[in-house]
Amino acid sequence: MRGFVKRAIEKLSKLDDRQIEQLMQTMALENERLAVVLDSMNDGVIVTNETHRLLLVNKAAERLIPFAPGRIIGDRSVWEVIADEDIAEFVRRTLESDDSVSDREFALDYGGATRILSCSIIPLVQAGHVRGNILQVLDISEKRGREARLRRAESLASLTTLAAGVAHEIKNPLGSIGIHTQLIAKLVRELDETQRSAISGYLDVIDEEIERLNKIVVDFLFAVRPMDIQLESGDVNELLRDLLNFVRFELEQAGIDLVTDLDDGIPALNIDAKYLKQAIMNLVKNAIAAMPDGGMLRVATQRRGDQVVMRVSDNGSGMSDEVLSKIFEPYFTTRDFGSGIGLTLVYKVIKEHMGDISVISKEGHGTTFTIILPVPQTEKHLIGWEGSNDL
């Protein structure tokens, strides 16, 4: 087609009005076909000229990239019309340095759902010369989700047998130590008061450490064993109110302001209140730990079609990309005395509820956990027929 147009332009002075009209119609048809192809693509495409002004944006790019309102093609630099600060800064640095970048990933919040975008910038070359740049945007959320689920499944499978065996071996000596500690305590009671007081202090420390080790073993076993989830119709908002009322004093002591935004239109869900409350409590505890100097905790619910979205957000220390990629893996922790079980349990509980959980976090800007649970489908009844079946 390009060769045909080039030859037609070369002979333009020799064409009559009818031939020029046919040429214009052909070019318009090809231009429309190109626009349809671009708008039908799942990949986002953004084209700029040599001065980084916006030339073209297809439908997928408009859907994936948040743009500033009132953008004008060719009026401003492309990074000035992109609303997301991280993507805009990435585009600006890359274009101003004349670099080409492949597969730079960004996490965006789309109404409670986390989407992972892969952005690439390549030069727009025409006749051997760079005439601008192309920004390609791919939605790789499903791909990354499958990879993460596979890694978690593999981690759980490989660690289940190991954890169960180690826990069994630890519980036996712990039980023996506990018995002998009791025997020592019995003998200590026969000593004089000075000796008894000193030794009793040591025994108390041993008892505390035995209890702590036993709790770790129980948590490890709980993390790898199947859960006995009992789903019943329940009110998620009421569950959240009870939980937040329970931790309200702890939040006040930590200097954390609590903000709730619970949608009154949330229907009853099939939940195991005990397990779900424990999962959300773990998220709240993590948020408190991330705000040692105080801050704000926001808990919200929202009805979105046949799903209910719950968010637990803080404006604390946030997490790096490296930590963020591992937080749901068993036994991974950034705390000195953490077991690495808490978020693994959260993940298992949500999956047992046929839900999904995602997280957006940035160092120094806080963290948001988003839980999505399905709304039970109403039972469908067939319309009865009392007439004859004879045709």
Q: For residues 285 and 297, is the Cβ–Cβ distance under 8 A?
A: no
Q: Is residue 13 part of a domain?
A: yes
150/216 same-domain check = yes
Residue 379 lies in a domain: no
What's the pLDDT at 296? 94
Q: How far apart are CA 368 and CA 316, in angstroms?
A: 10
Mean pLDDT of the chain: 80
- Residues 126-165: tens digit of each pLDDT: 878 888 899 999 888 888 777 776 766 666 666 666 666 6
The SS3 call for residue 1 is coil
Same domain? 361 vs 303: yes
Percent with pLDDT over 90 in the chain: 22
Q: Find residue 67's DSSP bridge partners.
A: 82
Where among 194, 224, 254 does a domain terminate? 224
380 falls within a domain: no
Give CA 383 to chain center in angstroms: 43
Residue 347 predicted with pLDDT over 80: yes
Q: How many domains does the chain have?
A: 3
**96 and 165 fall within a common domain:** no
* pLDDT at 380 > cutoff 50: no
Residues 260 and 188 in one domain: no
Select from 123, 142, 161 the last residue of a domain: 142
How far is Cα 56 from Cα 74, in angstroms, rounded to an integer? 9
pLDDT, position 255: 93
Question: Coil, strand, or helix at residue 373?
Answer: strand
Q: 203 and 239, same structural domain?
A: no
CATH number at residue 18: 3.30.450.20
At which of 107, 142, 177 does a domain end? 142
pLDDT at position 260, please?
93
pLDDT in tens, 8-22: 666 666 767 777 777
Do 84 and 197 have their domain in common? Answer: no
Answer yes or no: is pLDDT of 320 > 90: no
Question: Range with the lowest mean pLDDT among 7-21, 54-68, 109-123, 196-210?
Answer: 7-21
133 shares a domain with 8: yes
Confidence at residue 114, expressed as pLDDT on a 0 to 100 scale: 72
Nearest of 328, 334, 361, 367 to residue 346 by alpha carbon: 328
What residues make up the domain containing 277?
A: 232-374
3-state secondary structure of 221: helix
Residues 205 and 270 in one domain: no
Burial classification of residue 91, based on how many CB atoms lie within 10 Å of its CB (0-12 exposed, 13-18 middle, 19 or more buried): buried
Of the listed ranges 117-121, 143-147, 295-299, the least confidently predicted one is 143-147
The token pair at 367 is 């963290």
Sign of the C-alpha dihedral computed for residues 108, 110, 112 and 114 taken in this order = negative
Q: Are residues 98 and 208 in the same domain?
A: no
Type and span of the H or E element at 349: helix 342-352
How far apart CA 357 and CA 312 sit, in angstroms, is: 11
Evaluate if residue 314 carries a pLDDT over 70: yes
pLDDT over threshold 50, residue 80: yes
> What sign has the CA pseudo-torsion 79, 83, 87, 89?
positive
Question: What are 185-237's pLDDT values in tens digits?
Answer: 777 777 777 767 767 777 777 877 777 777 777 766 666 666 778 889 999 99
